Chains A and B, each alone.
Chain A
């Protein structure tokens, strides 16, 4: 009798613990259902719409996100460099390549909660397309790090994990058909201040 009660308890514990835990894990992972990956960049074009999958809907409700609409823009998030390593705030990176058509774009370095990283300096860890210098072929080279660099410099500082968030505003790629042949810039690690 006692044994049966114990087994029931174990089954219930696995069910509730496993079920709840797996939901929590699935909602925390940056990568998920409905994600579109281009190089190191991930976007969720469906997030925040009625057509989104249950995981995206739960994430929206849990984090209080108000996702950008189709006519507003589309955000891409990168958590790894071209070598497959996680992005770190203490490392320097080069972001280079061409950017898809958009009225303008913004790029910022983000912490775990996807807010802009705090650099303790007046300069924001963000860049936008009207202020960048371009190469003759219209591509852009951005140096990321805590040391000032010539050309386009994105300031980051501190330690720990980092994400890049690249958002295109008023862009045709936000409609799902436009996403098929988009290329995004590469993120290459230049060195670490370890």
Chain B
């Protein structure tokens, strides 16, 4: 009897250790995280719609039904990435995530010059290079310094009612996510 009690106590202690280990390992080994889901849907530097509107099940969960969203994956080790989207929509916001889906930086249309989405994501080292001589075409862009290599860029845009659907869809379809030569 005593031995059984000993066993159960040992088991519970083990359960505690397993709990902590599993919890720590879930983010490392998850194949269902946002990066993996996007990787299955499309390539690097390719804007992919996240909402169900574009056909098929939504790629990434927790998108507001009154929003359309698009995302692209990038790798800053290959160079800085520039994201642009033309057009006027009621509201847009963007976020930069790292490989494991942590939100590093976000801003919305009120932060941008004239409400136009034109931004460059780059590492602090690339930022030093760019600062030395800012190219003419990047004058109006918002620079986001992120100390990462692989990451995800997400654009979200508000669809107040059905009449805005084509406009917002077009805004996301025409958005680009490209390696910027420098």
Q: Enumerate chain A interface residues (CB-CB to B < 8 A).
A: 7-8, 10-20, 22-23, 26-27, 48-50, 52, 54-55, 57-58, 60-73, 75, 103-104, 106, 108, 113-116, 124-126, 128, 130-131, 165, 167, 169-170
**Size bin of chain B's contact surface:** 35 or more
With A18-B15, A71-B106, A169-B93 known as contacts, the answer to whether A115 contacts B61 (CB < 8 A) is yes
With A49-B103, A61-B101, A169-B158 known as contacts, the answer to whether A71 contacts B15 (CB < 8 A) is no
| Nearest 3 interchain pairs by C-beta | A69-B106, A19-B18, A15-B14
* B104 cross-chain contacts in A, Cβ below 8 A: 50
Asked if residues A58 and B23 are in contact (CB atoms below 8 Å), the reply is yes
Distance of A192 from chain B, by nearest CB (Å):
25
With A7-B3, A12-B11, A64-B33 known as contacts, the answer to whether A48 contacts B160 (CB < 8 A) is no
Contact with A along B94-115 (1 / 0, CB 8 A): 0101001111111110110000
Number of A-B contacts (CB under 8 A): 188
- For residue A3, which residue of chain B has the nearest CB? B3
* B100 cross-chain contacts in A, Cβ below 8 A: 57, 60-61
Contact with A along B1-27 (1 / 0, CB 8 A): 001100110111111111101111011
Is B77 at the interface (CB under 8 A from chain A)? no
